[in-house]
Structure 1
Amino acid sequence: MDQPTVGILHPGSMGAAVAACAATNTAAVLWCETGRSLASVERAAQFGLTPVSTLPELLDRSDIVISLCPPAAAEDQAHEVAAHRFTGVYVEANAINPERTKRIAALLEPDATIVDGGVVGSPPVGGKTPTLYLSGRDDATTRIEALFVGTAVRTTVLGTEIGKASALKLAYASFQKTSRVLVALAVGIAREHGVDQELIEVASRRTDSYLAEPEYVATTAARAWRWGPELEEAADALAAAGLPPAMLRAAASTLARWNDAKDDGELTLTDALDRLAQP
């Protein structure tokens, strides 16, 4: 079988790196440069993605489209793709709740074949090996698995039901990201009373405690602009399951205090805590 052409929507730090891995087993990986920032253009060039000028051109040329964008944009992006009557495989790999994934599937079918996806882990660069969890029709998930054979992206198929991959992604994110928020708050209390170093010493005596890694608070702050919406999605999933969503909504609200620190790689722990203390 000929190698497929893949289109990547919104090639951010995760999307561009994942797409670059797929390039190993594809004829080309396309992205639409119209309306994108200079940072996106530079990132796409760095990862060797092929630019096209319009979304219709990307959809016409692509056998498989992977959507990896901020959660708020997921449905708008799907509506644009549906309007073009895309007939290939559409991988909905955004951090959105299962009900939204099902709505997107209903929007795009029967023209397109939907695969539900969820990436767990860091972008596949510098030795990192995230896992792309998949659920959907067997023939479609098999095609997506083939894209990443021999690459840094691992794949695991969870079954045929749309929503399973999204649920697993959010279940993990709800724990991992909220835990990092709790670290920031704990260190913030301790710093206010001059016992932050003692707190870290206490935490360091425990095995695998995030509290023993306070330096990660600055990284959390820089990623807050996208972690917050993920936790809102997870809170919606909790509510749909009859579980209390208030804890995750509070964590998302806390992260919102760092929205102006978007992708700031120079942020220090002190900077992050100072910003957190200022509503």
Structure 2
Amino acid sequence: MDQPTVGILHPGSMGAAVAACASTNAAAVLWCATGRSPASVERAAQFGLAPVATLAELLDRSDIVISLCPPAAAEDLARDVAGHRFAGVYVEANAISPERTNRIAALLEPDATIVDGGVVGSPPVGGKTPTLYLSGPASATEHIEALFARTDVRTTVLGPEVGKASALKLAYASFQKTSRVLVALAVGMAREHGVDQELVDIASRRTDSYLAEPTYVAKAAARAWRWGPELEEAAGMLAAAGLPQEMLRAAASTLARWNDVKDDSELTLTDALDRLAHP
């Protein structure tokens, strides 16, 4: 598969840019224009993707198909592909759970070979270099590595188990996306009292990501008995400001799982995570 033909389903902002990178090492990159919006047509043309009239034609001509669509549509799209008995490599690259990825694999196998994928980072335009994490059969992941060699999409293979790439993508997304929502709540709460700039000033003194400090989880667990009530108070502030309070209430409920390890300085990360999963 030196120069494979690739099909992209469907070229949104991420999918089109990833497909354009694939074109570096592909004979052609196809997309199905039927039923797609004018914005999709314009985007596909901008990135040099070749239109075909039907999904059947795309699948008949493609050695590799990459699915990058809204998560809710992933299984329906895979079901459509399965109906055509696609027999190439199917890269399930949507932000979906490992369970859903394995359901999709069951739909498409044994005709197709499934590679689990997860894109972490921004679309590969303007110097951005996202990483496409891959898991699945080595013979198939090697083809995807070769497809994106020397492009702005980096690839990392996590092993042969379908589901690993999806798990990593969602684990990171859960932190990254929720963090942005927490920023909105914190700034909104501070703005209600005219101290939003001061809040930003405090935060600017620390630029490290908490995600890079997992060992601190044990300290958080030991302090949960007082952090939880603080968040309940903050949730009350949000409610008073007309802002959503559910996220902080949920965080307080999570912290309550650690109430029995109050001020335990010997607690390890493993202990804290075990107690979180099995209170």
Return closer, same or farther for 1:110/1:178 CA change in 2, 3 Å cut-off. same
**Structure 1 residues 79-102: Cα deviation after superposition (integer angstroms, max 9, x where no partner):** 000000000000000000000000
Q: How many residues are treated as equivalent by the alignment?
A: 216
**Structure 1 residues 103-161: Cα deviation after superposition (integer angstroms, max 9, x where no partner):** 00001000000000000000000000000000000100000100000000000000000
TM-score (norm 1): 0.75
State the structure with more CA Rg. Answer: 2
**Structure 1 residues 41-68: Cα deviation after superposition (integer angstroms, max 9, x where no partner):** 0000000000001100000000000000
CA distance in 2, matches of 1:164, 1:2: 27
Work out whether residues 134 and 165 of structure 1, in 8 Å CA contact, stay in contact via their aligned partners in 2: yes
Work out whether residues 178 and 248 of structure 1, in 8 Å CA contact, stay in contact via their aligned partners in 2: no
Give 1:201's aligned residue: 201
Structure 2: stretches of 5+ with no match in the other structure: 211-245, 252-279
Give 2:37's aligned residue: 37
CA distance in 2, matches of 1:2, 1:95: 28
Give the alignment of 1:1-279 within 5 angstroms: 2-208=2-208
Percent identity, please: 87
CA distance in 2, matches of 1:209, 1:157: 24
Return closer, same or farther for 1:19/1:249 CA change in 2, 3 Å cut-off. farther
TM-score (norm 2): 0.75
Matched residue type, 2:191 = R
CA distance in 2, matches of 1:248, 1:90: 39
CA-based RMSD: 1.8
Question: Higher relative contact order at CA 8 Å, sep ≥6: structure 1 or structure 2?
Answer: 1
Return closer, same or farther for 1:247/1:35 CA change in 2, 3 Å cut-off. same
Return closer, same or farther for 1:159/1:84 CA change in 2, 3 Å cut-off. same
Return closer, same or farther for 1:250/1:95 CA change in 2, 3 Å cut-off. farther
**Structure 1 residues 155-174: Cα deviation after superposition (integer angstroms, max 9, x where no partner):** 00000000000000000001
Work out whether residues 132 and 153 of structure 1, in 8 Å CA contact, stay in contact via their aligned partners in 2: yes
Matched residue type, 1:150 = R
Work out whether residues 203 and 209 of structure 1, in 8 Å CA contact, stay in contact via their aligned partners in 2: no
CA distance in 1, matches of 2:54, 2:122: 29
CA distance in 1, matches of 2:51, 2:164: 32
Return closer, same or farther for 1:249/1:167 CA change in 2, 3 Å cut-off. farther
**Structure 1 residues 205-259: Cα deviation after superposition (integer angstroms, max 9, x where no partner):** 223369xxxxxxxxxxxxxxxxxxxxxxxxxxxxxxxxxxx969979xxxxxxxx
Q: Which contiguous aligned blocks of 4+ residues in structure 1 show a shift greater than 3 angstroms?
A: 246-251
Matched residue type, 1:87 = A
Give 2:217's aligned residue: none
CA distance in 2, matches of 1:126, 1:110: 39
CA distance in 2, matches of 1:248, 1:189: 12
Work out whether residues 93 and 118 of structure 1, in 8 Å CA contact, stay in contact via their aligned partners in 2: yes
**1:159 alignment partner, SS class:** coil
